């Protein structure tokens, strides 16, 4: 069986990246992290990768005049490292159809809300403003829309009286660190089957194989 090679895209400190690295090191995710790419030179995610001996590559968004040029540079780096699954771990860029088509069905994202509610970059702010009693996070396949791909896994988090964006984000992040590695594991094991909007999680057969 071919071992999946993960290409992880980040924009910030990389806390989800850290949880994925730990899961790979424990053997929970039977895959290799081929490269970590950040769109900002000072993203701490790059340092996290370097500390673990993982190739860490900055591809700086502002260095490119057009988004298409930036995405071509991303794809070139991913392909050069033999990436078979793209993981968006706090990557704050919307990917164009050209990029998505290059890895159709092979891009996973984590979003800090219970999709389809509160897509976009301000999920915690929007959830609090709406007055919901429950928020959470969602792992989904990436399609051409914004946070609109088929849902793989979700976790709910209560919204408490007096919550701020920061306090809610901290509790949601704990669940992100749990369900994102779990979803990647399911993909790597070949246990995800997408049928339109529905994603089926296949059972493990006796003996541990599908």
- Which residues are part of the catalytic machinery? 111
Contact, 113 vs 127, CB < 8 A? yes
Return the ∠ at Cα 125 (arms to 145 and 154), rounded to 5°. 55
Cα 122 to chain centroid, rounded: 17
The two three-digit tokens of residue 120, written as one number: 């976009």
Rounded Cα–Cα distance for residues 185 and 179 (Å): 10
Distance of alpha carbon 75 from alpha carbon 67, whole angstroms: 12
Nearest to 124 by CA among 160, 94, 89: 160
- Extract the runs of DSSP E, i.e. beta strands, from the chain: 5-10, 32-38, 56-58, 85-88, 107-111, 134-141, 151-158, 192-195, 198-201
């Amino acid at each position: 069986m071919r071992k999946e090679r993960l290409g992880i895209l980040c924009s910030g400190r990389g806390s989800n990246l850290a949880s994925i690295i730990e899961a790979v090191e424990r053997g929970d995710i039977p895959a290799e992290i081929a490269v970590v790419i950040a769109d900002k030179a000072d993203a701490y995610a790059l340092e996290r990768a370097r500390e673990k001996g993982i190739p860490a590559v900055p591809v700086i968004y502002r260095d490119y005049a057009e988004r298409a040029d930036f995405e071509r540079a991303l794809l070139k780096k991913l392909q050069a490292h033999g990436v078979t699954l793209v993981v968006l771990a706090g990557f704050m860029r919307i990917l164009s159809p050209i990029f998505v088509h290059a890895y159709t069905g092979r891009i996973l994202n984590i979003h800090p809300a219970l999709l389809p509610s509160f897509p976009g970059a301000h999920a915690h702010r929007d959830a609090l403003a709406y007055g919901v009693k429950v928020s959470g996070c969602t792992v989904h396949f990436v399609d051409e829309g914004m946070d609109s791909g088929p849902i793989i896994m979700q976790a709910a988090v209560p919204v408490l009286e007096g919550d701020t964006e920061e306090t809610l984000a901290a509790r949601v992040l704990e669940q992100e660190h749990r369900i994102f590695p779990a979803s990647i594991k399911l993909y790597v094991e070949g246990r995800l089957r997408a049928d339109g909007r529905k994603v089926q999680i296949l059972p493990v057969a006796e003996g541990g194989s599908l």
